[in-house]
Amino acid sequence: MLCSLGAALQVPYTTYACENRRCVPQPRTLTHQASHTSLRLCEMTCGAGNLWPQPTSSAIAATTMAVSVDDVQHSVSFGAGDAVPSHLVRGMQQIFDNALALKATECAFVAVDSVGLVVDAAIASASETLSLETDESYTLRIGNGTAVITAATIYGYRHALVTLTQLIEYDELSHAMHMASSASIIDGPAYRHRGVVLDTSRQYYSVAAIRRLLDGMGATKLNTFHWHFTDTASFPVEIKGEPRLTSYGALHPRQIYTQPAIRELVAYAKARGVRVIPEVDAPSHAGAGWQWGVDAGLGELGVCFGHNPWYDACVEPPCGQLNPFNDHVYDILKTVYSELHGLFDADVFHMGGDEVHLGCWNMTKAVTDHMSSDRSPDAFYHIWGAFQKRARSLVDAHKKIAIWTSDLTNAPYLRSYFEPGNTIVQMWTRSNAGDAAKLTAQGYEVVASYYDAYYLDCGFGNWLRKGDDWCHPYHHWSVLYDLDLVQHVPVSQRRLVLGGEVALWSEEVDEATMDAKIWPRAAAAAERWWTNPRNATTWKDAIDRLRIQRDRLVEMGLQADAIQPHWCRLHPGECTLLP
């Protein structure tokens, strides 16, 4: 309809010429010169190109060719070894085919001179394992309508398909699909851990909303969904061995993540190159779901839940911590951990472990009785640390654990309770606090979630009183893009910096507003973690490409926030006020 309407009205398209590595709009006319092209084809072939995240190395032709994407021919060969995961490979191919179909609007037709698209791939390993050790690198070569991919794993292959998707665009001048006529790309991530943490305890997010997040992560080559699904506000995860956790802990009977739904999400994520790491926060951030112990004859499992005034026992309402001296707590944790290990195949299990409030435990008789016999200044940390060690013993020994930074991750406590070889410390301190250098110097792997850059819920006001929130201001995408994770880390320790995660805590966010909070800022972080641009590359060099990527996310169905007026995409380089 829109296509025929445009033709009937003879609406002229704006054409573009590549001048000084920039797409320059030409005067509108009903005819155009052969040297001029549509905006999307110009973006693909001119200057820095349209790829996001930017590859390690790329050479892309300045010309394009018409291709037919109605029936893409996929061919994949594997090296010897594991059984071929045909279902997973086909799922990745289907995502690719669907992405091309989305671009081929109702105006598109198969050009007379088009060639059928062929994608040939050679993958060394057929393993489905997606872990910190997975090789995600790939090469992509395009010529004569054929794309040739080589990759060590199926996840490198998947990343190559994402890149190839960006090199195929609908051309509104010829009403046909076009691909770069030739390209040579060598690519792989700078960091092994590139993620998003989503809090689905304070607000419930539907499975459809989480799928939408995973779609965006796959499109930006983020590889880790850190699922913070329990907190004091709710326990919405089905645990068959202890159903009272959700009976007492869910916000609503229909707001529970069932085990079949979790399995489906894990599989959905894997097809998008994303592993899912579950977090069960303890001993703090545990309230709803643990309040039934006394009635069941098990004693107090959780303490301080719903205490009023809340500020005497926690950092925000509702309060709640586990009772470290009740053996039944550990029996239940063992059940929880065991079932989650069967649902999630990630190589890491997140134990939370931050913001333990002394005020709460000082109200707990079991704790104060113990502290009366331990008068040392470190008695509180001994109790906390002993809980962490005992809980750690219940986690699959083959998995690494992750913990948030806290007083317990400072000297002299850290080494007393957490082993460097199998503990990842997730840093939510300030980016200039020097924690990465301090922790890696002790042999610990780290993931950066600095609140002054990566907390995406900051800058929207305080939900407990009038005024700013604790982590204001709003963190502009340029802050995320320009943050170098290893700038102040000695070269010999940089291998221990695994990467980063942006975080969306849900006090003032739910699924109705999550997309605009996350995107495109998470995409900005994604390029930093994938490419780690050097040679003084900053947000100024990335803004045109990020604007393109933001629009891609919107076309996929994500409600990503705008970064500039749309006029600026139509006039590249004319909207940025550079110092």
The SS3 of residue 258 is coil
Beta-strand pair 423-427/400-404: parallel
**Distance, C-alpha 106 to centroid of its chain:** 32
Is 86 in a helix, a strand, or coil?
helix
Is 421 exposed, middle or buried (CB count within 10 Å of its CB: 0-12, 13-18, 19+)? exposed
Can you state the angle between helices 207-219 and 539-555, rounded to 10 degrees? 140
Of 73, 37, 74, which is closest to residue 176 (Cα–Cα)? Answer: 37
Catalytic residue of the set 355, 419, 445, 555: 355
C-alpha triplet 321, 324, 328: angle, nearest 5°: 100
133 is catalytic: no
- Spatial contact of 366 and 424, defined as CB atoms under 8 Å apart: no
Give, for 517, the enclosing helix (H) or strand (E): helix 514-518
Sequence-ordered alpha helix ranges (H) in 298-364? 327-343, 358-361
Find the angle CA(439)-CA(440)-CA(443) to the nearest 5 degrees.
100
Q: Which of 532, 448, 426, 499 is nearest to 132 (CA)?
A: 499
DSSP state letter for 579: -
* Peptide bond before residue 283 is cis, with ω within 30 degrees of 0: yes
Q: What's the alpha-carbon Rg for the chain, to the nearest Å?
A: 26
3-state secondary structure of 224: strand
Phi, psi of 248 (to 5 degrees): -95, -15
The C-alpha atoms of residue 161 and residue 187 are separated, in whole angstroms, by 12
Report the distance separating Cα 506 and Cα 203, nearest Å.
Answer: 6
**CB 263: neighbour CB atoms within 10 A?**
13
Residue pair 131/347 in contact (Cβ under 8 Å)? The answer is yes
* Unique residue bearing structure tokens 């499975």: 207
Cβ atoms within 10 A of the Cβ of 466, count? 6
Strands 445-448 and 497-504: parallel
What residues are annotated to the active site?
355
